[in-house]
Chain A
Amino acid sequence: MATELGMPGITNQTEEEPVGRWGMVIDQDLCTGCQACVAACAMENNVPIVGEEDAGYGRYMHWIRIERLWESEDYPEVKMTPFQPMLCQQCHNAPCEPVCPVFASVHSLSEDLNLQVYNRCVGTRYCGNNCPYQVRSFNWRDYNDERVHPELVTLHNQMNPDVTVRRRGVMEKCTFCIQRIHKAEDKAKSEGRDVQDGEFTTACAQACPTNAIRFGRLDDPESQINQIAATHPSRAYRALEEVRTLPRITYLKGGA
């Protein structure tokens, strides 16, 4: 249903799935579980360091996590499953968006990403409950405050000036490094052209030593990620496809 307000028709019909603009391909065969992406994302996006006690309780705030699972008939003989980096899928029909009562989680039309507006968030945490991938992190305390972590104050010097530092009570999640997207788009606009695929990449894709994570344009059929996905059609799948959130990340199945 296209509205008269000049916005492109957004539907939740099943016939047509919009292609999207920015996406990723994650090859689970190549992922070694080294967690370089986790560290790079935390440094790039000023993700707070939670500390041992809270992280042990399950309050880690990493925007990307490597899911390490194993199958076992008789422990300790276990069979590892392929590592799965799990991050915000930037769903087209994001379930986290309609449940926020204050428009802190909205859909960007120009980038087809799910935006988290930090200064609008009131902290109801409904979006966190509703995310089927459980990729949203909440600032349970002022982890960047020197009263909570006095030993980490010097680390504030390495914070990224392009990214807001969040305070307690605010929800956050992976943004596909939107600050890098905007920088590249601004540069391209000043040069009077469109952003090329491969001109920049996200922090996690940049840090990955095996190039398991690749980032790029989805609407360009010649783009890197579309070519990789086309090369392995039988291995390509979407996470939790049955929930029909229309995510923007294609995983390539690992293992034999």
Chain B
Amino acid sequence: MATIAKPLARPRAQEHEDPRQYLMHDPLPRGQMNAMVMEAMHTTSPIFWAVTGVLVLIVLFALGYEWYILIMQGQGTAGVLRPDYWGVFLVNTVFWIGISHAGTFISAILRVLKIESRRPFTRAAELMTTFGLVQAGLSIFMHLGRVWLVYWMFPVPNERQIWPVFHSPLMWDLMAITTYLLCSTMYLILPLIPDLAMARDRTEGGWQKPFYRILAIGFRGTEGEWKNLTTAMNIFAFAIIPVMFSVHTIVSWDFAMASRPGWSSTVFGPYFVIGALHSGMAAVAIVLFMLRSTMKHYTYFIRAEHFNTMGMLMLLVSMAWAYFYFNDYLVPWYGGDVWDKLVQEYTEKGPLGYLWYTMLICNIAVPWAFLWNQKWRQTPWLLAIVGLLINVGMYLERFIIIPVGVTINRMPFTWRQYEPRIEVPMTIGTFALFLLLYMLASRLIPLIPVWEVQEGQEAHMIRKIGKAEVSTLSDLE
């Protein structure tokens, strides 16, 4: 008699997995979770203050003092020249806006798609958005020749009777980045209000009590207040997604609108958006690892399943990035425009060709090598290292597009390679400022949205279907 089914070559491991490994099925009393988050906020070690001190020094000297020199002596202290009018400052701007897209992706898109594992780290990601946009704004101011006149770019009535030019992609940038910064800050504040109310209720005295009382704006949690809050949050979740896509598309149009070979590529819009998601999600993985390692009790909130989710998303986005990059690569490679081909040859085989190879290895080879295995995806430190390499690769991608790609133009007499000068300490300063803002925020506001975690835990239950215990999610909204 023929067998009906062939036995499996390998027995399936983990027939009965413990559902309590998932945060949503491992509920604790809300009071206990609140206490854990508040304790994590208030527990600081001497190492924390030492690192903060070092960061403050770096920000003051590498960023503050050097920027003063840059403004007083002019852009000549930077490495820009003819034909490379744009340099590392623009690379930083694009990089930081890219990092900021992760926050919106996680708190908006994952919320809309009802992916429940996003619940504990939406705020950590949204903080990355806000602080990343701050660095992007600073970087764009750094590259202006006469930054004290930047207010001429703001469309407000003035005595000069002249308004800015909306034909310019830089103005679209201004509109889009302002919209995105304001909206993502508002989207950060909205779910923060109930947690500030919780902090207000759990703080007794000192300067913290009036601080949280003022910030909690009198929130109690009545039906009307929750309805207003959740309605506003839903509007934001849906509306900020197209804004997120449009912002990095508009940033890419800074380059696509230019009549430079290698820049005026029609695929830049979606290519940059995917690139932003790529670097952003890698940065979220790094931040989650650092939070889990340094904040007390966060091993309860941030678990292997969250790294697994991030790892799968990183793998997916790296494939999308590879698709778009191949699109952008194939067209000049095939021939046609001699200048496009020259740019590509210079990128690959020129003196900075090693950057191109590093970029491909970091952006494609590294995620494809490490993120297929579920066990590896659930290892926090491995995901953090992969995330770091991906961010290096994405920084190099922007560096290759801007200062390296701009070297080749239609006038060979002008070709000359860019060398970064004062941009180096100032870039380090922006990274230090980002970390510093994040560390200060971790002392002031609870980084885990506990009410959202409890809401999710209330909605999840284990149900027995047949012999299996199945996780069920009820739609409570």
Contacts and interface: CB of A to CB of B under 8 A. Distances in A.
Interface of A: 54, 57-60, 65, 67-69, 86, 95, 98-103, 120-126, 128-130, 132-134, 136-142, 168-171, 240, 243
Interface of B: 73-77, 80-83, 85-86, 143-147, 149-150, 152-153, 162, 164-165, 167-171, 174, 254, 257-260, 406, 409-414, 416
Contacts, number: 140
Nearest to A97: B167
B326 to A, nearest CB: 26
A101 B260 contact: no
Residue among B147, B149, B171 having the largest count of chain A Cβ atoms under 10 Å: B149
Contacts of A169: 74-75, 144-147
A126 B255 CA distance: 10
Contacts of A123: 75, 144-147
Given A67-B411, A101-B170, A124 B144 contact: yes
Contacts of A120: 152, 162
B145 A122 contact: yes
A122 to B, nearest CB: 5
B74 to A, nearest CB: 3
Nearest to B73: A141
B258 A141 contact: no
B400 to A, nearest CB: 16
Contact of B82 (A95, A124, A128): A128
A139 B145 contact: yes
Nearest to B261: A132
A170 B147 CA distance: 11
A126 B149 contact: no
Contact of A138 (B77, B85, B167, B413): B85
A120 B150 CA distance: 11
A99 B258 CA distance: 8
A140 B76 contact: yes
Residue among B80, B145, B258, B406 having the largest count of chain A Cβ atoms under 10 Å: B145
A170 B145 CA distance: 7
A141 B74 contact: yes
Contact of B144 (A98, A122, A128): A122
Contact of B146 (A54, A103, A121, A132): A121
Given A101-B171, A132-B259, A57 B146 contact: no
Given A67-B413, A101-B153, A124-B170, A142 B81 contact: no
B82 A134 contact: yes
Contact of A122 (B81, B149, B167): B149
Nearest to A137: B82
